[in-house]
Structure 1
Amino acid sequence: MPTGLDQETQQESKAIDLALLDRWQHDFPLVPHPFQVIASELGLREREVLERFQTLLANNAISRIGAILAPNTVGASTLAAVSVEKVDLDEAVRLINMEHGVNHNYERDHAVNLWFVVTATDEAELDASLARISSRLGKDVFDLRLERPFHLDLGFSIAGRPEDSLVKRRLRPANASMIEPDDREVLAALQDGLPLVFRPFHEIGRHAGRSEADVLARLERLSQAGVIRRFGVVVKHRTLGFGANAMVVFDIADEDVDAVGERLSHVPGVTLCYRRRRASGWPFNLYCMVHARSRAQAEPVIERLKRLTGLTRRDMTVLFSTRCFRQRGPLLGAKQRDSGS
């Protein structure tokens, strides 16, 4: 049975982990020894910070430390969905995940039940990737391409209240003209996350054929340009207790959708908000994501969204995720491969 001292030590250790998770989702130090900077701020040793991040990664609390890119600035991507019979679900997931560029794949509690993100080097390769998936499944796939982001940050407090969880930051337009030809090699070396070593950017440079200083300069430039939306810890929200993941979709008249999207993006508890292309059989064009610890905690946020859309809303539906089959960063290597061939 743990003593009072043991419990106090455990609580202190948990507090340190929460600080690492909360504070460093944004503004991760782009310096040669980033873990030393973090250690100094928290009053820890550099090695302890590294070991804690290694443990968080091993325990599936984080997926990586790395760059979150503005959509469709480096390569192309889309949200896709398909309706699959329950008995065929596992096979459908296997066929979808064969595709090299699929980096997210979720089951949601709706007739359109498989939702996945497909990434590619360019629009032509993205079209080809979707065609391969559709052919394997023998089904039409909804291609719901992003038209305008209102909030795409997805950094939220693990320790705070769900309604205060979103880190609200002004969404600057990405300046894609700042992307240089060799940036892709650096970002590709980062796609699995920053190596958890004392000089991680040196290691990234070694893989990308660049100096440490060059890597840091490129990441700083892309961050300033808004191509990198944030650089930091990417948490696994389910592992950390955020088990209710709701995608709330609305059918809003085209002339009203941008004003409504701007309004909904500021609602506490909304972690993403964006306008997407409609599809035949899927009339929805405005999407909000709500992450909460339970459905009961998500419902007040959803009700507020419902009230705010008011008379502009022609239809809406709520899709809670039930299973996650894949969650990783986008693949930015050389030309996407047809993994199913």
Structure 2
Amino acid sequence: MREVADPIDRALLDDWQRDFPAIPRPFAHLANTLCTSEIDVLNRLADMQENGTITRVGATCAPNTLSASTLAAVAAPETRIEEVAAIINEDPGVNHSYEREDQWNIWFVATGPDRDAVNASLDRISQRTGLRVIDLRLVQPFNIDLGFKMAGQDTPVMHATPRALDLSAIRDGDKTLMNILTKGMPLVPAPYAVIADQLGQSEAQVLSRVTALTEAGVLSRLGVIVRHRKLGWTSNAMVVWHVAKDDIPEAGTQLAALPGVTLCYERRPVADVWPYRLYCMIHAQSREAAIAVLEKARALPALENIKHKVLFSTRCFRQTGAMIAKEKEAAE
């Protein structure tokens, strides 16, 4: 892991990946906890964003609540990987893309304001690349709240238990607000006031909606979003398990609770090419450490002798916030 030597920088990264305050001067609050000034906090975060240590200070949205998303993959010929990755990343709905060690070698997340927009994104990519796109829709999450500790831990840690979703809390305008927050809030003393001006609302209205969406579990995390590779978590494996549908709840629960497993969820299989239903991510500082976690996963009672496949990430092509509203929508 890359050493974050400065104690204030380390605290910003360790302590504020979630539970970012919904108050008029949030960065002043961070400064008070760190015994420094508001401008110092803003400058440090701006520097971290500039040098790629963090992607943004912003939000993540619970999957398929205010927007739609899916995990997808293509099998690009070795000679076309760069070309195909560039085409995929040109699509406005793609917010994450990786090369992985498999025949299905380029994996990406397609997002949009609704399922039709995601389908259109996948269709465009298929037509432009001439490749089949497999669509691996989320069925249920077991653990999707990922956090990375900078203070010497061997594995990333989870800080929060996901809130129960209350979709009845969603109001008109929330999609546009969340689109701004997922892209990243402005690094200024009063960011919510700036967002309020963009929306034609009061600062109090914006703060009220941020609080309501957080309590409803729709806004799943608000805080500093780090680039884990930049900070040394470079050996990252997606492991897929061929678990029978009826056995998924027990297997997913056991897998999600295993230290070192950072994400865990069920997705729909694609019958003719991709039978796997249960997925997990292992983020580690070395390939050996990742494999050690995998061995513990294989020994879990629900996963003994279960067929699985390990896909290590070799390159990150793109990592940004999800698209929740179309750009025209977001500007209105």
TM-score range, shorter chain: over 0.9
Amino acid at match of 1:82: V
After TM superposition, give the deviation of residue 13 of structure 1 in Å. 5.9
Aligned to 1:295: 287
SS at match of 1:162: coil
CA spacing shift, 1:313–1:141, aligned 2, 3 Å:
farther
Identity %: 45
Asked whether 1:153 is paired with 2:175, we answer: no
After TM superposition, give the deviation of residue 170 of structure 1 in Å. 2.1
After TM superposition, give the deviation of residue 168 of structure 1 in Å. 4.3
Instruction: Choose the corresponding residue for 2:6, options 14, 25, 28.
Output: 14
Equivalent runs, 1:203-222 vs 2, <5 Å: 203-222=194-213
CA spacing shift, 1:14–1:111, aligned 2, 3 Å:
same
User: Is the 1:33–1:198 contact (alpha carbons within 8 Å) kept by the matching residues of 2?
Assistant: yes
After TM superposition, give the deviation of residue 192 of structure 1 in Å. 2.1
After TM superposition, give the deviation of residue 310 of structure 1 in Å. 5.4
Aligned to 1:27: 19
Amino acid at match of 2:214: S
SS at match of 1:223: helix
Larger displacement relative to structure 2 (249-258 or 303-312): 303-312
CA spacing shift, 1:180–1:44, aligned 2, 3 Å:
same
Q: TM-score, normalised by structure 2?
A: 0.94
Larger displacement relative to structure 2 (154-163 or 193-202): 154-163
Aligned to 1:195: 186
The 2-side partners of 1:316 and 1:213 are apart by 50
Equivalent runs, 1:170-319 vs 2, <5 Å: 170-279=161-270, 280-308=272-300, 313-319=305-311
After TM superposition, give the deviation of residue 312 of structure 1 in Å. 5.6
CA spacing shift, 1:175–1:120, aligned 2, 3 Å:
same
Structure 1 residues 270-292: Cα deviation after superposition (integer angstroms, max 9, x where no partner): 11100000013011111111111
SS at match of 2:242: strand
Larger displacement relative to structure 2 (36-45 or 166-175): 166-175
SS at match of 2:253: helix
SS at match of 2:59: strand
Amino acid at match of 1:193: G
Amino acid at match of 1:207: Q
After TM superposition, give the deviation of residue 90 of structure 1 in Å. 1.1
Structure 1 residues 199-244: Cα deviation after superposition (integer angstroms, max 9, x where no partner): 0111111112221111111010000000011111110001111111
The 2-side partners of 1:36 and 1:335 are apart by 31
Aligned to 1:140: 132
User: Cα RMSD (Å) of the superposition?
Assistant: 1.7
SS at match of 1:263: helix
Structure 1 residues 57-84: Cα deviation after superposition (integer angstroms, max 9, x where no partner): 1110000111111000011000000111
The 2-side partners of 1:313 and 1:171 are apart by 30
User: Is the 1:121–1:336 contact (alpha carbons within 8 Å) kept by the matching residues of 2?
Assistant: no
The 2-side partners of 1:335 and 1:233 are apart by 23
Q: Hey, which bits of structure 1, 4+ residues long, moved more than 3 A?
A: 309-314
CA spacing shift, 1:31–1:335, aligned 2, 3 Å:
closer
After TM superposition, give the deviation of residue 294 of structure 1 in Å. 1.2
SS at match of 1:241: coil
CA spacing shift, 1:168–1:273, aligned 2, 3 Å:
farther
After TM superposition, give the deviation of residue 191 of structure 1 in Å. 3.1
Aligned to 1:118: 110
User: Is the 2:254–2:302 contact (alpha carbons within 8 Å) kept by the matching residues of 1?
Assistant: no
After TM superposition, give the deviation of residue 189 of structure 1 in Å. 2.3
Instruction: Choose the corresponding residue for 1:42, options 34, 41, 47.
Output: 34
Aligned to 2:71: 79
The 2-side partners of 1:188 and 1:70 are apart by 13
Amino acid at match of 1:261: G
After TM superposition, give the deviation of residue 167 of structure 1 in Å. 1.6
CA spacing shift, 1:336–1:102, aligned 2, 3 Å:
farther
The 2-side partners of 1:98 and 1:285 are apart by 29
User: Is the 1:32–1:202 contact (alpha carbons within 8 Å) kept by the matching residues of 2?
Assistant: yes
User: Is the 1:256–1:312 contact (alpha carbons within 8 Å) kept by the matching residues of 2?
Assistant: no
User: Is the 1:246–1:291 contact (alpha carbons within 8 Å) kept by the matching residues of 2?
Assistant: yes
The 2-side partners of 1:205 and 1:235 are apart by 25
Aligned to 1:68: 60
Aligned length: 326
